[in-house]
Amino acid sequence: MNQLALNQQAAAMAATLSTPSMNTGASEPLPSIFLGRQPIIDRDQNLVAFELLFRTGYSEDADVSCNFSATADVIVNAFGQLGLRQTLGPHRGFLNVDRDMLASDLVALLPPQQIVLELLETIEVNDAVIERCKKLRRAGYRLALDDVTAIDDRVKALLPIAHMLKIDVAQVDSKALPRLVAALKHLPVLLVAEKVHTREQATSCHELGFDLFQGYYFARPEVVSAKRPDPSKMGLLRVMKLLSKDAEVRDIEAELKQYPDLVYNLMRIVNSAASGFTKKIDSLHQCIVVLGRSKLHRWVQLLLYNAPRRGPKGVNPLMHIAATRGKWMETLAAAERPRDRTYHDRAFMVGVLSLLETLIGLPMSEMVDDLNLDDEVADALLDRVGALGYLLNLLDKKECNDIPAVTRLLKGLPNVTLEQFTAAELDAAGWANGITYA
C-alpha cells in the first residue's frame, strides 16, 4: 500500500465518524466532541493501529494541562460517544497513560485485546509502577514505552515487561540511531519508529529493521468529531452518591432514567467493556447489572472529567421529549401488562431511544446495531412493529395530532382508554418537567 492509498484508507474511516449538522430546535448548537487519530503502519505500509489523541477542536495542536484528564476525555469519546468499533475498526488503539492513569482502576474499562497502553516518558519508575505493569500484562494488556531515545534506567527497568518501544527518531542523532536499534533488535519487543517526518527518515528506519512506523511522512493526525448532548454534572454526582451508598439497582436506574444521553452512553460502554457478552440488552436495569457497580462507578467518574463546564441554560428540547416519551411508554405498558416489569422496562427504553437519530445525528439502524438491542426493542425502533412498536406508533400519531389514527390504534389496547392515554401523556410531561439539568 503506497502513501496515497494509506491516506485514503484513513480518510474513509474518518468519513464513517463524521456526523451531519443537526437542527434540534435548541437555543444554541450542541457542543462537539473531538478525537485525534494518527495511523501506525507496518513494514508493508498496511494500517495496523491508531494512536488516539486528545483534541479540543479541529487543530492538530492540543493544550494538555492534565494528562489524566486528557486520557479520560479520549476514553469517553472513543468508547461512549463515537464508539470503539467506529473509532478503531479491527485495528489496535494506542492510548497515552500517565502515572495516575496507570495506577487507576479506570484502566479496567479498556479492552485488553485492542488497546495498547502507551506509558508516557514522565512516569517515574519505581517498584509500585513495575508491579502494576506486571499485573496489567498478566491481565492481557500490551504495554509500549513512549519517546525512547536511549537505553536509560527507565527503559532498562521496563524492558522485561514491555511489548513495544516507540523510538523518537526526531530526537536521536542519525549516527546513534543504528547503534540503538542494534542494541534492542535481538530483544522480544516490537520497535516502533515515531515522528518519522521525511522520506529519508522513513527509508532509514525501514532499512534498520523497525517493525512499525508513525509520523507526518505517512499521515498527519486527523481530527474526527461528532455532536453530543451534555451529560448533567449534577445527575452524575447523584448517581455517584447512590453508588457510594451501595443503593439498590432500581434507585440507580431511576436516577439514570432522567438523562437519556447518559442511558445511551451507558449502553455504549456496556457493549465495549463487556466483551464476550452474548445476550442482547433489553433494559436499562440489565445494562447496570451487566456492567457492574464498580465499572459503572468508574464510567461515571470519566463522564465527570469529560462533561463540559456550563451554567444553567435550560434543557435541550429533544432530550425533554425523549424523557417524556420514555415515561409515557412505560406508563402505557404498565396499564397494558400490569405484572410484566420487564415489558415496562423495554417500553421505557424504546421511548427514550426513539429520538436518538435526531439527538445523536446517526442513522437509527446504525445505533440499533451498535447497541446490540433486544429484537423486540430493535423492531419497535426500526419498523414500529410488535407490541412496543404499536405503542411507539401510537405516540407518533398523537404527536402529529392525527386523532383518527390515535382513536383507531387505541382500539387495539383494550386496557387503555382515551382518558388514560391522555392522563399518561400529562403525567409523563410533568415527570419530565421535574427533571433539572446542570
Cell 433539572 belongs to 436
How many CB atoms are closer than 10 A to CB 180?
20
- Angle, nearest 10°, between helix axes 260-273 and 249-256? 120
Q: Which of 239, 268, 256 is nearest to 356 (CA)?
A: 268
Q: What is the model's pLDDT at position 9?
A: 44
Res. 332: pLDDT tops 70: yes
Between 195 and 281, the more confident residue is 195
Distance CA 218, CA 316 (A): 42
Cell of 155: 527503559
By CB neighbour count within 10 A (0-12 exposed, 13-18 middle, 19+ buried), where does 3 fall? middle
Distance of CA 207 to the CA centre of its chain: 38
Between 191 and 221, the more confident residue is 191
How many CB atoms are closer than 10 A to CB 345?
20
For 239-255, write each residue's pLDDT tens digit: 878 887 888 988 999 88
Mean pLDDT across the chain, nearest whole number? Answer: 80
Q: Which of 239, 252, 258, 255 is nearest to 301 (CA)?
A: 239
Contact 13, 35 (CB under 8 A): no
- Least reliable range by pLDDT among 31-40, 104-113, 359-368: 359-368
Res. 181: pLDDT tops 90: yes
Between 78 and 288, the more confident residue is 288
Fill in the amino acid letter for 214: Q
For 374-398, write each residue's pLDDT tens digit: 889 999 999 999 999 999 999 999 9
Res. 216: pLDDT tops 80: yes
pLDDT band at 330 (very low <50, low <70, confident <90, very high): very high
- Least reliable range by pLDDT among 173-187, 200-214, 353-367, 405-419: 353-367
Between 280 and 239, the more confident residue is 239
What is the 3-state composition of the chain as percent helix, strand, coil, each rounded to the nearest 5?
55, 15, 35
Q: Which of 135, 127, 157, 136 is nearest to 145 (CA)?
A: 157
211 phi and psi, to 5 degrees?
-90, -40
Res. 416: pLDDT tops 70: yes
Distance CA 247, CA 253 (A): 10
Q: What is the model's pLDDT at position 278?
A: 60
According to DSSP, residue 77 is labeled I
Q: What is the CA radius of gyration of the chain?
A: 25
How many CB atoms are closer than 10 A to CB 113?
10
Query: 267 to each of 42, 264, 285, 325, how far by Cα in Å?
Result: 34, 5, 11, 18
Res. 373: pLDDT tops 90: no
Domains and CATH numbers, the chain: 3-227 (3.20.20.450), 233-433 (1.10.3210.10)
Q: What is the model's pLDDT at position 135?
A: 95
Average pLDDT, stretch 359-371?
Answer: 73
Query: 249 to each of 92, 355, 372, how far by Cα in Å?
Result: 34, 25, 21
Fill in the amino acid letter for 327: K
